[in-house]
């Protein structure tokens, strides 16, 4: 078999879930170069709840996002263009290389963790570049610990902040506690009970249900596979990943979710990147604390994606080159992991 690859030359119109077409193709490109990271310094991605809007960190972070928003739409580093990268890779913007009748997709399979890791890597590089500070690291939304089980203050305090998004569910703003398996509709659960349920959900997903690589990462996705019939999402991708999206971005009309609630627009909410930094951190926990191991199948290792780097140039990156976060130049703040012993 061969890896499933995107046909990057051939970006087509994507589809919103209701069938409406949306053009999220990136600006035209010419030459794509291979890229292998080799960081020499390590930055620490910190838990988002530790920063207020008075912090220096907030100043840097919000400046970076504002600058991304201010870039011209013809610049692939522009904030909306970055969100479109996600849209094109998950709503049928690309066909599968060599199989033009099949759409390419980075969810529902073993591509989920590495694709989003690379996406955040370049997003973070672009932030660093725009504020001219290569010590900058993205924050993570620590929704797997009680301290992080709300929308973190930075994203919600100031409506004029570039980190604010009007298209979040108004019923889920602080102090509302997230429900890590939320599905359209709220039941009234006392916050402390919800926190306990959330920890039990994390325990179930990470320990009871993620016994094998396929459980954790999702099923193999190779050239010629039809993603629409594969249904191979890993445990964490299903819960809590999908539910954090829908809890944040689904309003009264569940058939018409907004920003975070649906793939094509999810990355238009800056909190997307903090959500995915936590998903990425959970990958490191699965390896380090839970002694999981990375996939060694060459169709996974050699699968590639194309992103725009901090100089707005397209680069081709492979899964095998993102497996060591220290080579990518980051690590995660060592916060408590209370669900490790939260069996229900
Ligand atoms: Cu690409 Cu959280 O989705």
Taking the centre of ligand 1 as the mean of its atom positions, its distance from the CA of residue 295, in whole angstroms, is: 20
Is the beta carbon of 90 within 6 A of some atom in ligand 1? yes
Domain assignment present for residue 2? The answer is: no
Query: What confidence tens digit (pLDDT) does each residue in 197-236 have?
Result: 999 999 999 999 999 999 999 999 999 999 888 879 999 9
Q: At residue 241, what are phi and psi to the nearest 5 degrees?
A: -50, -55
Q: Is residue 8 part of a domain?
A: no
Residue 306: name the closest of 110, 54, 40, 122 by CA: 122
The mean of the pLDDT values for the chain is: 95
Residues 75, 29 contacting (CB under 8 angstroms)? no
* 89 has a pLDDT exceeding 70: yes
pLDDT at residue number 135: 96
Q: Please give the distance, rounded to the nearest whole angstrom, from the Cα atom of residue 281 to the centre of ligand 1.
A: 14
Is 107 annotated among the ligand-binding residues?
yes
pLDDT, average across residues 170-179: 96
Q: What atom of ligand 1 comes closest to residue 242's alpha carbon?
A: 2
For residue 245 and ligand 1, the question of a CB distance below 6 A is answered with yes
Q: Is the CB of 241 under 6 A from ligand 1?
A: yes
* pLDDT attached to residue 344: 65
Look up 243 and say whether it is catalytic: no
Question: In this structure, is residue 31 part of a structural domain?
Answer: yes
pLDDT digits (tens, 9 = 90+) for 284-300: 999 999 999 999 999 99
In-domain check, residue 304: yes
Share of the chain above pLDDT 90, in %: 85
Is the reported ipTM for this assembly greater than 0.95?
yes
Domain count, the chain: 1
pTM over 0.95? The answer is yes
Which pLDDT score is estimated for 326?
A: 96
Is 39 in contact with 281 (CB distance < 8 Å)? no
241 is in an annotated binding site: yes
Residues 6+ apart with CB under 8 A from 192: none
Q: What is the CATH number of the domain that holds 314?
A: 1.10.1280.10
Q: Which domain holds residue 81?
A: 14-341
User: What's the pLDDT at 4?
Assistant: 95
Q: Is the CB of 86 under 6 A from ligand 1?
A: yes
Residue 3 domain flag? no
> Is 4 part of any domain?
no
| 335 closest CA partner among 128, 170, 147, 174 | 147
Question: How big is the CA angle at 68 (ends 88 and 12), to the nearest 5 degrees?
Answer: 15
pLDDT value, residue 273: 98
Of the two residues 187 and 328, the one the predictor is more confident about is 328
Question: What residues pair up with 47 in beta bridges, in sequence order?
Answer: 140
**Nearest residue to 123 (alpha-carbon basis) of 276, 329, 328, 309:** 309
Task: Average the pLDDT over 260-270 and give the result.
Answer: 95
> Measured from the CB, is residue 243 less than 6 Å from ligand 1?
no
Residue 9, pLDDT > 90, answer no
Element (H, E) at 102: strand 99-103
Catalytic-labelled residue, pool 263, 272, 305, 307:
263
Phi, psi dihedral angles at 282 (to 5 degrees): -65, -30
pLDDT (mean) for 133-138: 96
Does the pLDDT of residue 123 top 70, yes or no?
yes
- For range 303-325, the mean pLDDT: 97
User: Catalytic one among 86, 172, 243, 275?
Assistant: 86
Mean pLDDT score, 65-94:
95
Q: What is the pLDDT of residue 28?
A: 74
Cα 273 to middle of ligand 1, angstroms: 9
């Amino acid at each position: 078999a061969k890896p499933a690859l995107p046909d990057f030359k051939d970006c087509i119109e994507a589809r919103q879930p209701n069938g409406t077409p949306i053009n999220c193709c990136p600006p035209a490109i010419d030459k794509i170069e291979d890229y292998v990271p080799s960081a020499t310094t390590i930055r620490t991605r910190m838990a988002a709840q530790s920063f207020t809007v008075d912090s220096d960190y907030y100043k840097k972070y919000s400046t970076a996002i504002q600058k991304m928003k201010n870039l011209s739409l013809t610049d692939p580093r522009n904030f909306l263009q970055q969100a479109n990268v996600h849209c094109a890779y998950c709503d049928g913007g690309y066909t599968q290389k060599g199989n033009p009748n099949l759409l390419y997709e980075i969810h529902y399979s073993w591509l989920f963790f590495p694709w989003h890791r690379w996406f955040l890597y370049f997003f973070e590089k672009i932030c660093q570049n725009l504020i001219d500070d290569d010590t900058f690291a993205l924050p993570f939304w620590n929704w797997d610990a009680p301290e992080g089980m709300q929308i973190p203050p930075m994203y919600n305090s100031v409506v004029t902040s570039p980190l604010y998004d009007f298209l979040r569910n108004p019923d889920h703003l602080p102090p509302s506690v997230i429900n890590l398996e939320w599905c359209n509709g709220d039941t009234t659960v006392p916050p402390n009970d919800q926190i306990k349920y959330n920890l039990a959900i994390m325990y179930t997903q990470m320990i009871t249900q993620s016994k094998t690589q396929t459980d954790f990462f999702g099923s193999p996705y190779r050239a010629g596979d039809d993603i629409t019939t594969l249904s191979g999402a890993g445990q964490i991708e299903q819960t809590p990943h999908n539910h954090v999206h829908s809890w944040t971005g689904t309003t009264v009309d569940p058939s018409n979710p907004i920003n975070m609630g649906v793939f094509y627009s999810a990355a238009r909410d800056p909190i997307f990147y903090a959500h995915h930094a936590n998903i990425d951190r959970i990958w490191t926990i699965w390896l380090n604390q839970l002694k999981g191991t990375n996939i060694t199948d060459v169709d996974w290792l050699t699968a590639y994606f194309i992103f725009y780097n901090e100089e707005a140039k397209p680069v081709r990156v492979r899964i095998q080159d993102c497996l060591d976060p220290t080579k990518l130049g980051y690590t995660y703040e060592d916060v408590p992991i209370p669900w490790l012993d939260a069996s229900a």
